[in-house]
Amino acid sequence: MSLGNFLREHRQALRKGDRSYSLRRVAERVGIEPSYLSKVERDLGSPPSEETLVRLAGELGQDPDVVLALAGKVSGDLKDTIRRRPVLFGQLIRELRDLPDHAVLRLVREVRDGDW
Amino acid sequence: MSLGNFLREHRQALRKGDRSYSLRRVAERVGIEPSYLSKVERDLGSPPSEETLVRLAGELGQDPDVVLALAGKVSGDLKDTIRRRPVLFGQLIRELRDLPDHAVLRLVREVRDGDW
DNA sequence: GACATTGTGTATCGTGTAGTACACACTACT
DNA sequence: AGTAGTGTGTACTACACGATACACAATGTC
């Protein structure tokens, strides 16, 4: 699924119940030109900036991290966190790269619930 | 410690034992102009690209992730890994953000040694 | 003293990013 | 039939990124 398809599909889904989710209206609320959003939804040209993508995700009720990922980006706050301890996080993430979802999820839970 | 200071100090340290670590010679081996490396070592202008930084780190025997971090960047392969599972890794990294080094390190070891 | 080497200042450049502006054709109402 | 709203095509733009090119003064070396 491309970024454009994702955005278009979710916007159109919302539109079924609310006429205000036309491309033009959404563009207006997000603060960009309609023609630009049109291009974004068709994956033409480079994807919007992180800020614009986050506002777009919010408008469509989608997870910002997912939208950013579809645009080939990683949230700035995650990058900051890694940058503060590059060796440690580098090791950890590379270690987890090939592990299945459930293993990573188990780790998340362990950290959240455990006495760290 | 800034990127420029870091690079300059490590280059000059190497230079004590090896005359070939002049700014010009290093720049040549890394494949950039001396005047550009000079600016980088004084933190003028925007830092080099990821590729150039990695070559620079290699030349100076330093950890690429550390050099990238000093330049305000995160290695492309880590970004790719996060982008493949944005929600999972987003949760994990945000969970670990405020934990002390030893806790994160313990996690790294657990994953590496455990039966995952 | 000559010659090479060193680091730096100034000017310039091509490419990519992240958009705007506006006209156009089509569809939906009423 | 007229008006409002819809998505799109084309052209353009400001700015940042990631450098290069080359001259220059200072320092080292033989």
- Candidate from A90, A103, A105 with C-beta closest to B65: A90
pLDDT for res A116: 63
pLDDT for res B115: 62
- Asked whether strand C has any atom less than 7 Å from the CB of A15, the reply is no
Single-letter code of the amino acid located at A44: L
- Asked whether strand D has any atom less than 7 Å from the CB of B80, the reply is no
Does A1 contact chain B (CB < 8 Å)? no
- Candidate from B72, B90, B103 with C-beta closest to A65: B90
Closest by Cα among A31, A29, A50, A53 to A41: A53
3-state percent breakdown (helix, strand, coil) of chain A, nearest 5: 70, 0, 30
- Asked whether strand C has any atom less than 7 Å from the CB of B85, the reply is no
pLDDT for res A115: 61
Closest by Cα among A35, A59, A57 to A45: A35
Residue A25 corresponds to which tokens in the numbers above? 């209206």
- Mean pLDDT over residues B51-72, rounded? 98
pLDDT for res A114: 74
- Asked whether strand C has any atom less than 7 Å from the CB of A32, the reply is yes
Rg of chain A over all Cα atoms, to the nearest angstrom: 18
pLDDT for res B69: 98
Helix, strand or coil, per DSSP, at residue A5: helix
pTM: 0.94
Closest by Cα among B53, B55, B64, B62 to B14: B62
pLDDT for res B113: 86
Single-letter code of the amino acid located at A16: K
- Candidate from A91, A93, A105 with C-beta closest to B81: A93
Q: What is the pLDDT of residues A32-83, one digit of tens each?
A: 999 999 999 999 999 999 999 999 999 999 999 999 999 999 999 999 999 9
Query: Which 11-50 positions of B have CB less than 7 A from strand D?
Result: 31-36, 45-49
pLDDT for res B114: 74
Q: Which residues contact A11 (CB under 8 A, 6 or more apart)?
A: A21, A23, A26, A41, A60
- Mean pLDDT over residues B64-87, rounded? 98
A3-A83-B111 Cα angle (round to 5): 85
